[in-house]
């Protein structure tokens, strides 16, 4: 079997596992600083909606890193993307656990989110490794800002979700720093704006569906 076939099979396997199999974390779920309190129904629904959005973000992260790993010709960079995807799998598992605990469901549009993110990853990768890394750095920067917003909106009693989001922020900041260290290029301002617009559409829709 050719190396190209191996990459395609790995990408297909990643998509199937992300969309249809329970994610398995390699790290324990972050512990809350204080015990969660009982949530009013409206607060529970809002917390569930916010964690659904975060779960979609992790579905997209799997797609992006898998696509970028498939396109790069640099074996070291491919290993870097694969390692980042494995760490993002922890986030995928944690957000799914919070959805379950809150009685909320994942987005019904996850296959569409995955396909769109995979396509973006392929485009970024085809532009070259430094642009691909720049896309990672900007994505993680925007995700950090998005998580900050969720910390502000999360019901105070949901300390379990707060602990997860705070650890996710730490990990995303590290991924961005690693991308810059590996030679990321700064993306043009219009591209950053389009990324923010696409993210706003995704988060708005995923909050409800």
Q: How far apart are the first and last CA of the chain?
A: 40
Is position 36 within any domain? Answer: no
Is position 99 within any domain? Answer: yes
Is position 123 within any domain? Answer: yes
Which tens digits make up the pLDDT trace of 18-56? 776 777 888 888 888 777 777 888 999 999 999 999 999
Q: Which residue has the tokens 């969720």?
A: 150
pTM as predicted: 0.87
CA 89 – CA 26 distance, rounded (Å): 8
Which tens digits make up the pLDDT trace of 121-133? 888 888 888 898 9
Is position 30 within any domain? Answer: no
Range of the domain at 170: 3-18+41-208
Structure tokens at 150: 């969720």
Is position 164 within any domain? Answer: yes
CATH number for the domain harbouring residue 86: 1.20.1260.10
Q: How far is CA 81 from CA 12, 74, 182, in A?
A: 16, 11, 11
Is position 29 within any domain? Answer: no
Q: In the chain, how many domains are there? A: 1
Which tens digits make up the pLDDT trace of 96-111? 999 999 999 999 888 9
Is position 27 within any domain? Answer: no
Is position 31 within any domain? Answer: no
């Amino acid at each position: 079997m050719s190396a190209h076939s191996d990459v395609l099979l790995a990408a297909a396997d990643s998509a199937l596992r992300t969309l249809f199999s329970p994610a398995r974390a390699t790290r324990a779920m972050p512990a809350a600083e204080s015990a969660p309190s009982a949530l009013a129904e409206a607060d529970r629904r809002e917390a569930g909606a916010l964690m659904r959005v975060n779960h979609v973000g992790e579905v997209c992260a799997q797609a992006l890193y898998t696509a970028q790993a498939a396109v790069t010709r640099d074996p070291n960079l491919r290993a870097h993307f694969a390692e980042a995807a494995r760490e993002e799998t922890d986030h995928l598992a944690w957000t799914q656990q919070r959805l379950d605990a809150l009685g909320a469901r994942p987005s019904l549009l996850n296959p569409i989110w995955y396909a769109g993110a995979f396509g973006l990853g392929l485009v970024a990768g085809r532009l070259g490794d430094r642009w691909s890394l720049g896309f990672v750095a900007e994505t993680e920067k925007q995700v950090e800002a998005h998580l900050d917003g969720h910390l502000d909106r999360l019901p105070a009693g949901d300390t379990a979700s707060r602990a997860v989001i705070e650890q996710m922020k730490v990990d995303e900041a590290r991924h961005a720093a690693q991308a810059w260290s590996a030679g990321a290029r700064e993306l043009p301002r219009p591209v950053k704006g389009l990324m923010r617009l696409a993210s706003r559409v995704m988060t708005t829709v995923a909050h409800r569906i």
